[in-house]
Structure 1
Amino acid sequence: MGSAFHTTTLRLTTGHRETIRDLTGECAAFLHEIGARDGLLNVFVPHATAGVAIIETGAGSDDDLLDALGELLPRTDRWRHQHGSTGHGRDHVLPGLVAPHATVPVTAGSAALGTWQSIVLVDTNRDNPDRTVRLSFLG
């Protein structure tokens, strides 16, 4: 049996505030649509100011992550990269801490996530609300 590669692009609007956007449902729909069985799902955000994480959502962890990033990367004018809103330079440092990609095993057509895990887009850039996320499956 040969391998197959499928890919799609999601276009999202995240708004003008820091946000964590759950992508788990879109990932599941993509896997279902292509008839995925076993393989790997890669989630990639082609932006210099956003990342992808696998975390628990809905119980405060998403806000805790944004708070922790705010402490590590304060929105001040201390950053060398200075254009856009105050502190935008910190958004360009974000992908160094929250990678712009995640790869998840897929078994029997479903992402093999843990009970409380979700695939999320982490977007701290208040200047650009339009985001692209590429989902790719190799199986």
Structure 2
Amino acid sequence: MAFHTTTLAVHTGRRETVRNLTGECESFLADVGAREGLLNVFVPHATAGIAVIEAGAGSDEDLLDALGDLLPRTDRWRHQHGSTGHGRDHVLPALCAPYATLPVVSGRLALGTWQSVLLVDTNRDNPDRTVRLTFLG
């Protein structure tokens, strides 16, 4: 049984963003010589999440728009520190979990044709994130 872990430093900036991490995940798996097992992707922040959806082709912006509709950036939130609407950022992980566990087969992520591993960050107050990758196989 193999266990390998690392962290990625990800600069997301001061605007809502969706960042594709699929390449970094694949590189990590290659670097540790992964064959068969599971990759856990975890963002240890109270205001960010991981999504496994299509990247590009407008899906990134559609996801942010949908989150904006569900969680408007207004002053209605009880959690009031930070920029206006920051309380909604703390609700995001309930809809977009801070982790994903993915199968690894023959050293590669076993994703569907259009699936990618994405960091979702709506928090404009925190421009830097950490993502932990852990392989168990």
TM-score range, shorter chain: over 0.9
Instruction: Name the aligned partner's letter for residue 25 of structure 2.
Output: C
Question: Which residue of structure 2 aligns with residue 11 of structure 1?
Answer: 9
Q: Which residue of 2 aligns with 1:132?
A: 130
Shift of 1:49: 0.1
Q: Residue by residue, what CA displacement relative to the aligned partner does 1:62-117 show, whole Å, maximum 9, x if unpaired? A: 10000000000000000000011000000000000000000000000000000100
Q: TM-score, normalised by structure 1?
A: 0.98
TM-score (norm 2): 0.99
Q: CA–CA distance in 2 between the matches of 1:78 and 1:58? A: 31
How far did 1:58 drift? 1.0
State how 1:64-103 maps to structure 2 within 5 Å: 64-103=62-101
| SS of equivalent to 2:101 | strand
Query: C-alpha displacement at 1:44, in angstroms?
Result: 0.1
CA distance in 1 between counterparts of 2:86 and 2:14 reads: 12
* Distance (whole Å) between structure 1 residues aligned to residue 39 and residue 128 of structure 2: 23
Q: State the percentage of identical aligned residues.
A: 79
The runs of 4+ residues in structure 1 deviating greater than 2 Å are none
Aligned-residue RMSD, C-alpha: 0.3
Shift of 1:20: 0.2
Paired with 1:47 and 1:28, the residues of 2 have a C-alpha distance of 22
1:62 is matched with 60
Query: Aligned pairs, how many?
Result: 137
1:115 to 96, 113, 116: 113
